[in-house]
Amino acid sequence: MNEDKRLTIENLIIEATYTKSPITAQNLLSKAIDLADSYNFPKLQFESRAQYMLICFRSGFHDRSLATFPWLLDYFKKAPEKVNQQSILVLYITAVNGITEFPNIFLDQINQVLEEMKTYYLKFGYSLKEAYRISRHAMLEMGREDLAQDFMDKVESASKGPCINDSPASDLFAEVTYLDHLGNYQEAIDTAQPLFNQSYPFDNLNFPPYTALLTSFVKTGQMDKAVDCFKKAQQSEFLTEFNHLWYTYKFLFFKVLTRNFDEALDLFKNCIAQAIGGHAFGLSYLFYLSSSFLLKQLSKQKIQTLHLKLPKTFPNFNPEGEYSLVSFLEWLNTEIDRLELQFNARNQNDFFTRLKMNHLELESFISAKKIDLN
């Protein structure tokens, strides 16, 4: 009987791993967690939660991912012999990559998590080069280039050793993404060239950073290359099925920039509820910037009403789903200002203001006529 119960839970975990829909995957894993808890199968309790944390992170539901982490860490501390050491480091990496998305998690708290991760790297005998590299990425997410440089200095001085993810292509992919995010557009393009030339083995990364470079090519006056990047990014089934807000914010912006307003409106409708859900406020902020760009253009087209499926937590929720475009745009801009202030206070800089100003500057590159993206 117990073997049948275990098999049921294991099958749910396997099914969630291979399903294309992140929401379906989360639901399957939630069911696996409930069954593992009810049957008191400790190993499956851990495994189902670990997979849930990873799936939520990969699909941009960082709140759910981070909320799962304390249980997993507590389980490991109580029974370290039952958990693979690599698994704990993977979970720490996942937590660090999502923790900056919430302005109520302060810089001191983030540094504390980074220090804890470093402790486990030392304890398990893994290279601090990787721990410092991940810490640097966290600083760049907050626009703290000064602190990022401190970690880069540590990366260069740390001893070599085993790593969890030793992939030069992945590292360079991330570097290009941050350069674009920081507004260093030409440097992002130049840095990405080895990926386009396939100078690195791609491992599990089977495409150059097409999505990240959309804005870089636009800002440097290379719209033809931006269009080519967009088309190639859309070819990846991974990206279109994941519906991650970072990708959709980029795609939404580019659809508006090329005057593909109908397609942009469809994408906005599909993703705005997730943004409002507050699963990652940093991602919501970026998506709101692109959404504001869209609504300003739709207003010029004399569109007055939006039909949206929004969560009941939305302040001006209408069960019939009908919203004034002008009113919704006002709400969006208020949210942008609110999040900007909160993130700037947490980051102790004006990084989110600069993100907004960069975005507004890019809006001026809107094409004179519709560009075919098919």
Going residue by residue through the chain, which has 374 residues, state the pLDDT in tens, using 9 for 90 and above. 688 899 999 999 999 988 888 899 999 999 999 999 999 999 999 999 999 999 999 999 999 999 999 999 999 999 999 999 999 999 999 999 999 999 999 999 999 999 999 999 999 999 999 999 999 999 999 999 999 999 999 999 999 888 988 777 777 888 888 899 889 999 999 998 887 776 544 444 445 688 889 999 999 999 999 999 898 888 654 444 456 899 999 999 999 999 999 999 999 999 999 999 999 999 999 999 999 999 999 999 999 999 999 999 999 899 999 999 999 999 999 999 999 999 999 999 999 999 999 999 999 999 999 999 98
Distances, alpha carbon 257 to alpha carbons 233, 261, 365, in Å: 16, 9, 7
**Vertex 283, ends 305 and 308: CA angle to 5°?**
20
Contact 68, 52 (CB under 8 A): yes
CA–chain centroid gap for 24, Å, is: 19
What one-character DSSP code corresponds to residue 305? E
Between 261-276 and 281-300, two packed helices, what is the crossing angle to 10 degrees? 140
CA–chain centroid gap for 271, Å, is: 14
Residue 25: partners with Cβ closer than 8 Å, 6 or more residues away: 16, 17, 19, 55, 59
pLDDT at 202: 44
Amino acid type, 81: E
pLDDT at 166: 73
- Beta strands (DSSP E) in the chain are 305-307, 322-324
**Vertex 24, ends 320 and 102: CA angle to 5°?**
75
Instruction: Tell me how far apart the alpha carbons of residues 299 and 328 are, in angstroms, rounded to a whole number.
Output: 11
**Vertex 292, ends 300 and 267: CA angle to 5°?**
95
State whether residue 104 is helix, strand or coil: coil
Quote the tokens at residue 242: 């994941």
pLDDT at 233: 83
Q: Look at the pTM and tell me if it is higher than 0.85.
A: yes
12 closest CA partner among 61, 54, 63, 47: 47
Top-level CATH class of 167-232?
mainly alpha
Taking the domains of the chain in order of start, what are their residue ranges?
1-80, 84-165, 167-232, 243-374
pLDDT at 198: 64
Quote the tokens at residue 155: 């990366």
Residue 70: partners with Cβ closer than 8 Å, 6 or more residues away: none
Contact 265, 241 (CB under 8 A): no
